[in-house]
């Protein structure tokens, strides 16, 4: 009986009712839906404001590649395709995203398949929400990883050995790597590098320090390594990023 009630309820909702408008009233939450080609076809007001689209009709059909640095767009597209091809959701993805001030930060993304009445996966929908004020202390679904995340947040500028992080969590290195990737969707090393890039963004915005000085201060071996990783994760060079705030 309950299943019949549910089906009757949803059948009674006209397609034009925009059921997703609920997300307009959830502070801090961004909502989106895309088709199989990555074209955005639904969004809440917060996402439209983020990208500077006062008119919804001008937004429909754009892709992440028109809105974000290429490196971020490629990562998001890769995840979208995984959801579309497998039909399985990807939940609690910890990743760098651009916040409403145009500044990168740690966010948590949930993605689910959009399924048609015939059972075909026709797209992906999801939410994006900030996960914490400190780049090294994002929330995680597994408390066992908390000691390592806390240590990275406080010591990302130093040399950090992965076996030492595993030991802090009472895990073997293999168990630690597997659990870390399972819950944070990235390896411990990549998480450390992204944390350093995040911290460098803050220095680039707020100070006039030389790039070489910032590179070593946040834990990179030299300016070349810093520039390479910064471009990989931000889609631009440190100098070009700095110029946006001058």
Give the Cα separation of 213 and 209 in Å (integer): 7
Average pLDDT of 44-56?
86
The verdict on 23 and 111 lying in the same domain is yes
Give the Cα separation of 42 and 21 in Å (integer): 10
Residue 46, in any domain of the structure: yes
pLDDT confidence band for 229 (50 / 70 / 90): very high
Question: Tens digit of pLDDT for each residue in 90-126?
Answer: 988 877 776 655 566 778 899 999 988 788 899 999 9
Backbone angles phi, psi at 51, to 5 degrees: -95, 0
Residue 135, in any domain of the structure: no
Q: What is the pLDDT of residue 137?
A: 47
Residue 138, in any domain of the structure: no
Mean pLDDT of the chain: 83
Last residue of a domain, one of 87, 104, 130: 130
The verdict on 123 and 148 lying in the same domain is no
The answer on pLDDT for 138 being more than 60 is: no
Last residue of a domain, one of 82, 97, 130: 130
Residue 137, in any domain of the structure: no
The verdict on 15 and 99 lying in the same domain is yes
Strands 121-130 and 40-43: unpaired
Q: What is the CATH number of the domain that holds 191?
A: 1.10.10.60
Give the Cα separation of 219 and 148 in Å (integer): 17
Q: Give one DSSP letter per residue of 188-229, joined into a string.
A: HHHHHHHHHHHHHHHHHHH----HHHHHHHTT-SSHHHHHHH
Q: What is the CATH number of the domain that holds 81?
A: 3.30.450.20
Residue 183, in any domain of the structure: yes
The verdict on 120 and 184 lying in the same domain is no
The verdict on 126 and 192 lying in the same domain is no
Bridge partners of 111, per DSSP, are 90, 126
The verdict on 180 and 218 lying in the same domain is yes
Residue 55, in any domain of the structure: yes
Number of domains composing the chain: 2
Least confidently predicted of 3-7, 76-80, 132-136, 235-239: 132-136
Question: Which residues constitute the domain of residue 168?
Answer: 143-243
The verdict on 8 and 117 lying in the same domain is yes
The verdict on 147 and 125 lying in the same domain is no
**What pTM did the predictor assign?**
0.65
Last residue of a domain, one of 96, 130, 164: 130
pLDDT confidence band for 134 (50 / 70 / 90): very low
Listed in order, strand segments (DSSP E) in 44-103 are: 90-98
Encode 153-186: b = buried (16+ Cβ within 10 Å), e = exposed.
Answer: beebeeebebeebbebbebeeeebbebbeeebbb
The answer on pLDDT for 10 being more than 50 is: yes
């Amino acid at each position: 009986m309950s299943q019949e009630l549910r089906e009757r309820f949803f059948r009674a909702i006209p397609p034009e009712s925009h059921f997703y408008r609920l997300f307009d009233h959830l502070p801090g939450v961004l909502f989106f839906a895309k088709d199989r080609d990555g074209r955005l076809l639904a969004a809440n007001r917060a996402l439209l404001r983020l990208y500077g689209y006062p008119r919804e009709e001008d937004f429909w059909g754009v892709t992440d590649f028109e809105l974000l640095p290429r490196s971020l767009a490629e990562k998001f597209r890769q995840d979208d395709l995984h959801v579309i091809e497998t039909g399985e959701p990807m939940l609690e993805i910890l990743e760098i995203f651009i916040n409403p001030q145009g500044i990168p930060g740690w966010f948590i993304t949930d993605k689910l398949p959009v399924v048609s009445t015939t059972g075909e996966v026709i797209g992906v929908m999801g939410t994006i929400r900030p996960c914490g004020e400190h780049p090294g202390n994002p929330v995680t679904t597994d408390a066992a990883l908390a000691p390592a995340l806390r240590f990275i947040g406080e010591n990302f500028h130093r040399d950090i050995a992965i076996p030492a992080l595993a030991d802090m969590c009472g895990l073997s290195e293999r168990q630690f790597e597997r659990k870390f990737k399972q819950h944070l969707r990235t390896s411990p090393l990549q998480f450390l590098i992204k944390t350093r890039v995040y911290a460098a963004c803050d220095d680039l915005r707020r100070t006039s320090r030389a790039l070489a000085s910032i590179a070593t201060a946040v834990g990179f071996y030299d300016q070349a390594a810093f520039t390479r990783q910064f471009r990989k994760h931000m889609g631009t060079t440190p100098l070009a990023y700095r110029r946006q705030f001058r």
